[in-house]
Structure 1
């Protein structure tokens, strides 16, 4: 047995992405716990949460809307990555790796959303 969303590659990749963000943010300064760290983790987790929430018994229109929410959460996460880089919490290399992963995931979610008729 499995839930429908567990078979979606975009859900699987968004779960991995959320874990990458969590692990990265563990190295942020303690004074960021209730600011950037929390915001970044919530935004990254929201990507997979929105995909799973809408994949069960929703209309196609609702499905597209929630995939849009996932894309927005991804954009929010990328902005947090910029903040982390600018504040010197992450290296340029770490930023580039996660930025590229974000861009790839965004394109996959968009492609999936465009397939829904």
Structure 2
């Protein structure tokens, strides 16, 4: 069964919407980091959170080939896990409120799980 007729763009995927909203929240949080951490921790967490979205967009465009689609989704998982790591550093260093950090950490757990589901059902999304 193909999902191709139902979803026309990666922007329609709930997973992408969650990733984009989370990346925007990470950006807001990063702006509140101490000045000495913005070029280091701030840039890294922003980059990895945005990379989740970019890799989802690339995966969508590469779904003609299952291997390429799955490889990009693996990158989504990796970038989401990296974002979680930076969130942990921000929490432990007291740069980020623990409740806010845990909420964002949970969003990236959802993203990792969503990417895993897409991988598990890749055949339904591949266009050829």
Same fold, judged at TM 0.5 (above):
yes
CA RMSD of aligned residues (A): 1.5
Report whether the alignment pairs 1:87 with 2:61. no
Higher RCO, Cα 8 Å, sep 6+:
2
TM-score by length of 2: 0.84
Unaligned runs of 5+ in 2: 1-6, 124-128
Counterpart selection for 1:77 from 74, 83, 93: 83
Unaligned runs of 5+ in 1: none
Deviation digits for residues 16-44 of structure 1 (CA, Å, limit 9, x no counterpart)? 11011111111001111220000000000
Report whether the alignment pairs 1:110 with 2:116. yes
Q: Which residue of 2 aligns with 1:20?
A: 25
Distance 2:31 2:8 in 1: 30
Structure 1: 4+ residue segments shifted above 4 A: none
Distance 1:109 1:54 in 2: 10
Q: Which residue of 1 aligns with 2:40?
A: 35
Distance 2:50 2:122 in 1: 23
TM-score by length of 1: 0.92
The alignment of Structure 1 onto Structure 2 pairs a total of residues equal to: 116
